[in-house]
Structure 1
Amino acid sequence: MTAKHRGGGKVATAAQTLPDVDFRHPDLPALDRPAPDLPAPDRPGSDARPPGAGGPRYAGSPSTASPSTASPSTGGPKYAGVPSHVGGPSVGQGPGGVRRSSDSPGRRVARGLGELLLTCGVVLLLFLGYEVWVSNLFAERKQAQVREQLITSWARGQDPLKGQDRRNLPIAKQVALPAGQGFANLYIPVLGKDYVRTVVQGTSDRHLESGPGHYVNSQLPGQLGNFAVAGHRVSKGQPFLNLDRLRPGDSIVVQTARNWYVYAVLGSRSAYLAANKLADPDKREAAVAAALAKPDSQGVRGREIVHPAAVHVIDPVPNHPRAVATRALLTLTTCHPKYSADQRLVVHAQLSRAVPRTGSLLPAELPGGTI
């Protein structure tokens, strides 16, 4: 429709299909020019406007800004369709537009503490990532180098043990092995058909980063007494990560330059087989633990969990420092539980047989073995 200003003037046209939406603040004064008298709206959103509304408006369109009276708050001109507070101090600002801080000392302290905890959390995650993954990469590389050096020395006819790993060799002065040198390979079939780790001399942190380490005061493979080996459970190669999976009767095979030594985990094999038939998982696990903990005729258990200071577990007769060794044993130690060093998980095994190495033939306890 078309409307003319009283007294002459421009002609304004409003589209009838678009409802008029008044965006102006109710306290705004009218424009300096009088608006035409339009019919009162008969419903909300009608395109008709009340007198003094300042002319036709369109939905979604900004008001035609024209200077009017000075704003009392800012001293500048006011415009139709613009809220009167625009240009003045906003919420949270004082005179002159200076923002007042709403933070109390307590809030600032809490924010700082939160940022500190977040930073510590990120650093901790990075450290754990290094310990669990990055250190494993470095350790696996060192282990591969040690194994390659050992295989090369065997191929050249060199034996680091100098033939002192004969079965039932009485306890005597140990052969001098340089710290960190590999001298035997350790196979545990229950931990994987391709599980093999080269054992190095020494149990310091530096040596254990290269692989399982031989306790220097314990016996050698095949000797009467106790061939004791330590290894990390988590990080740095984690060779004994799943040592708790060993059960009574499981085979552990040690390879030297001249012989294969097959050890069997101690404990009650019959009790383990009976426990393995239980349907309830909790009862089965408890029965398996009891089978492993059952001592043999010399009081040696298949598995035990001890304090780190319990060094007698690597004696020639474990936990019996005054006893005389009459058989060849193997002891594996690692941290317990996983991701903790509060205790030690200890597994004992007894030598069941030894066979000379013949070319590339493997003992029957290993996959593809025939001897």
Structure 2
Amino acid sequence: MRVPVVQHSSRRRRARRRRAVWAGGEVLVTVGVVLLLLVVHQLWWTNREARRGAERKVQALERQWSAGGAERDAEDGASGDGGAGGSGGAVRGGSATASPPSSAAARDALPRRSRAYAVLVVPRLRLRVPVAEGVGKPDVLDKGYAGHYPGTQQPGRIGNFALAGHRNTHGEPFRRIDRLRPRDVVEVETARATYTYAVDRTLPRTSARDAGVLRPVPRSLVVPGSGYTEPGAYLTLTTCTPEYTSRYRLVVWAKLVTTRPR
């Protein structure tokens, strides 16, 4: 009867394989835990912190306005046209009227970069977030704010008041703007007035580089027939689509219907 002989080299090879498998398993588990923590951070923590910060900023603005201490970033040297992107007419009840340079709307113009100066209110979405000048991520969008596109008009003015916001993570204020329907109300509150817009049209998808949607008379350069051909007081909301990507843009347009002085 032959007795099998086990070579020491074979034992060592099997031991090395077991150690390699064990080490590989540990690496995979560690990578999985790290990825899970990253997902939790992006989908929960950034939303939590951004929403809390945005709520505090809204409350601070409201206290400031109530106390009569609103900042007047544009009072010194503000031009009568209220900034770039349109003419100087203010709109009340849907009609355009001339406005002098010292009007409330002119004083709302030209805020300082990254400074929150208005509040966007969308009742259907139970949304109430600050509006800040600029669309930079670290100083505006990642704070859960809506960002005002520089060079577009200010609220309540003839032209296009255009805003951007995250659809996912960092407060995701614009996550559900695809649910807005014609005649839904969107309000923009400032130190001087509340401007009420009515949703008019939605462009479900266009190129991220479609600059036409930001023009004074917004009209897509990519999707024929989407947008407007006549001057007016427009509000444009833009965000990424599909969700969790930034490949395309979703656009919602609204028209100014009333202006209510504060």
Shorter-normalised TM range: 0.7 to 0.9
Q: Distance in 2 between matches of 1:157 and 1:133?
A: 36
Q: Distance in 1 between matches of 2:29 and 2:192?
A: 57
Q: Distance in 1 between matches of 2:5 and 2:136?
A: 63
Partner residue, 1:352: 257
Partner residue, 2:128: 196
Q: Is the 8 A contact 1:169 1:224 kept in 2?
A: no
Q: Distance in 1 between matches of 2:205 and 2:69?
A: 38
Matched letter for residue 315 of structure 1: R
Unaligned runs of 5+ in 2: 76-81, 83-88, 222-227
- Ranked by relative contact order (alpha carbons within 8 Å, sequence separation 6 or more), the top structure is 2
Deviation of 1:149 after TM superposition, in Å, equals 2.9
Deviation of 1:106 after TM superposition, in Å, equals 7.3
Deviation digits for residues 320-370 of structure 1, max 9, x if unmatched?
Answer: 68x98621000011111111112111111111222233xxxxxxxxxxxxx
Q: Distance in 1 between matches of 2:17 and 2:219?
A: 58
Q: Is the 8 A contact 1:212 1:239 kept in 2?
A: yes
* Residue 205 of structure 1 pairs with residue 137 of structure 2: yes
Deviation of 1:254 after TM superposition, in Å, equals 1.4
Matched letter for residue 197 of structure 1: V
1:7-86 maps to which residues of 2 (within 5 A)? none
Partner residue, 1:179: 113
Q: Distance in 1 between matches of 2:234 and 2:52?
A: 30
Local SS of the residue matching 1:205: coil
Matched letter for residue 215 of structure 2: D
| Equivalent residue in structure 1 for 2:11, among 95, 100, 119 | 100
Q: Distance in 2 between matches of 1:355 and 1:196?
A: 18
Q: Is the 8 A contact 1:170 1:224 kept in 2?
A: no
1:89-128 maps to which residues of 2 (within 5 A)? 100-101=11-12, 103=14, 112-128=23-39
Partner residue, 2:225: none
Matched letter for residue 231 of structure 1: G
Matched letter for residue 235 of structure 1: T
Normalized per residue, which structure has more helix? Answer: 2
Local SS of the residue matching 2:132: strand
Unaligned runs of 5+ in 1: 1-90, 268-301, 358-371
Deviation digits for residues 284-317 of structure 1, max 9, x if unmatched?
Answer: xxxxxxxxxxxxxxxxxx2231222222211111
Alignment identity in percent?
35
Residues 237 and 260 of structure 1: is their aligned pair in 2 closer, same or farther, counting only changes over 3 Å? same
Q: Distance in 1 between matches of 2:5 and 2:64?
A: 80
* Residue 143 of structure 1 pairs with residue 54 of structure 2: yes
Q: Distance in 2 between matches of 1:243 and 1:253?
A: 14
Deviation of 1:102 after TM superposition, in Å, equals 5.8
Normalized per residue, which structure has more strand? Answer: 2
Q: Is the 8 A contact 2:219 2:229 kept in 1?
A: no
Local SS of the residue matching 1:217: coil
Q: Once superposed, what is the RMSD of the aligned Cα atoms?
A: 3.5
Matched letter for residue 318 of structure 1: P
Q: Distance in 1 between matches of 2:210 and 2:44?
A: 30
Deviation of 1:124 after TM superposition, in Å, equals 1.5
Give the greater-gyration-radius structure (CA): 1
Deviation of 1:246 after TM superposition, in Å, equals 0.9
Residues 160 and 310 of structure 1: is their aligned pair in 2 closer, same or farther, counting only changes over 3 Å? farther
Deviation of 1:229 after TM superposition, in Å, equals 0.7
Residues 124 and 92 of structure 1: is their aligned pair in 2 closer, same or farther, counting only changes over 3 Å? farther
Partner residue, 2:233: 328
Residues 324 and 247 of structure 1: is their aligned pair in 2 closer, same or farther, counting only changes over 3 Å? closer
Residues 112 and 159 of structure 1: is their aligned pair in 2 closer, same or farther, counting only changes over 3 Å? same
Deviation digits for residues 175-217 of structure 1, max 9, x if unmatched?
Answer: 331222221111111113xx31111111101211231111121
Partner residue, 1:237: 171
Local SS of the residue matching 1:235: coil
Q: Which sits farther off after the overlay, 328-337 or 176-185? A: 176-185
Local SS of the residue matching 2:14: coil
Q: Is the 8 A contact 1:233 1:240 kept in 2?
A: yes
Matched letter for residue 257 of structure 1: A
Matched letter for residue 311 of structure 1: A
| Equivalent residue in structure 1 for 2:212, among 288, 304, 312 | 312
| Equivalent residue in structure 2 for 1:216, among 127, 134, 150 | 150
